[in-house]
Each structure stands twice: as structure tokens, then as C-alpha cells.
Amino acid sequence: MTTLPDSIAATIAAQPGVQRVPTPKAMLFQRKRFVMPDLAEELITLIDAGRRPSTIADDNGDPVFRTSETCDLPADLPAVQQIEALLAELSGIDSAFGEPLQGQRYAEGQEFKPHTDYFAPGGRDFQKFCALSGNRTWTFMIYLNDVAAGGATRFKLLDKTFQPEAGKLLCWNNRLPDGGINPATLHHGMKVRQGVKYVITKWYREKPWRG
């Protein structure tokens, strides 16, 4: 990317309300009330209207590795444009490097088992997903609603667990300071025990996004 990871981290850390999560193993931040309730409700409606079964590049032979539903959010919708503007202001990352915004829905019993957001070099689908735009760099994830029980995001290798909380943002750098991938960003979208969980996710790439 044109902006160095440390510079992006500094930009994020300087924003009001942002907290850097104390760990030496990864650049990980959170900010509560990043998205207001009315905008969150608009996004939830869009996810419900467009949801489809989620897919994964490599399920490790486990057919229930990821059981959520996913929604591609069109860039021309006002609610999507509002989120994109908020993320651009927060991070300073050029929007050209961003993948299209996605929404995810987790019903009771659904989860996304421990995984990383980057594509593993040498993996069976690495060339397919990274040939044009490079690997994923930063992840920005926003919880859109409170969940009655379950649905936490657990970073086992960081010993950190985050509970769903309406409007809360989590963001992290999937890379190490030397530019290599960071295995410590392994995370688990834990099973929803009661209720439904909605999140939106934005990923950025090493090169401008080319689909």
C-alpha cells in the first residue's frame, strides 16, 4: 500500500474514542459507538434483504467451518457511502485499496471457526484471490447490534475476546512490521447462542482493488 502500516496505525490511534488493545503481537484497535443506531438499522435491513450462504477460500475439509450468511453491499447506496466515509476518515487509507463492503448475519448456532483474513501464501487459492490486488492488509469490522448470548470474536493467540455491542468497531493489521502475514490475527466468530448477530466488514489490499 502507499501508506505504511505504522502511519495507518498512528492515524487510527489519533481519532477520538479509539483504544489500542494492549498486546505486542498485533496492531488491534476498538472504538465504541462508531456507528449510530439509525445507520446500523439501515444496514441490517440491507443485509436481511441480500443475504446468501457465506463461502470460504479454504474450509480445511470442514463443511460447517463457516455457517453464517453474507451480503454484498452496493457502493451506490447512501448507507454504504456513509460507512465508507467514516472508515476513510478513521484510517486515512485510500479507498482505491478497499474491497467492496460486506455484511454478515449469524443466526443462533452459526459461527465462523478460527481463521485469518489474509490468504496464506502457498495456499490452494492464494493465486486466485491475490494475483490482481495482493493480499489483505487491514480489517475493519463493525457490530451492528447487541446479541442476547454468544457471538463474541475471540483472538485466541492474543488472549482477547470482544463481545458484540451495537455500533462498536474492531480493526486490525493482518501483517507484521516487516510486511509478512501475522498468524496472531487468527480469530473466531463464536457461535451465537441466543438472538441474531449482524456485522459489516471492510478489507483493504496491498494494491488497488481490481475485483
The total of other beta-carbon atoms located within 10 Å of residue 193's CB is: 13
Measured distance CA(15)–CA(108) in Å, rounded:
34
Decide: residue 114, CB within 10 A, 0-12 exposed, 13-18 middle, 19+ buried: middle
pLDDT at 207 over 90: yes
What integer pLDDT is reported at residue 61 of this predicted model? 63
What integer pLDDT is reported at residue 55 of this predicted model? 74
Supply the DSSP string of 15-37, one letter for each residue. Answer: STTEEE-S-SS--EEEETT-S-H
Which residue pairs from 160-167 have beta carbons closer than 8 angstroms and sit at least 24 positions apart in sequence? 160/21, 160/23, 160/28, 162/30, 164/197, 164/199, 165/32, 166/37, 166/40, 167/32, 167/33, 167/34, 167/35, 167/36, 167/37, 167/40, 167/142, 167/143
CATH of 5-205, one of 3.40.50.300, 2.60.120.620, 2.40.50.140, 3.40.50.2300: 2.60.120.620
DSSP run (H or E) holding 10? helix 5-13
pLDDT at 62 over 70: no
- Confidence category of residue 59, pLDDT binned at 50, 70, 90: low
pLDDT at 130 over 60: yes
Q: Which residues of 53-67 are buried (b: 16+ CB within 10 A; e: fewer)?
A: ebeeeeeeeeeebbb
Instruction: Kindly list the domain boundaries of the chain, sorted by start residue.
Output: 5-205
**CA proximity to 168, closest of 142, 132, 192:** 142
Mean pLDDT score of the chain: 93
Q: What is the mean pLDDT of residues 124-148?
A: 94
pTM to 2 decimal places: 0.94
What integer pLDDT is reported at residue 51 of this predicted model? 92
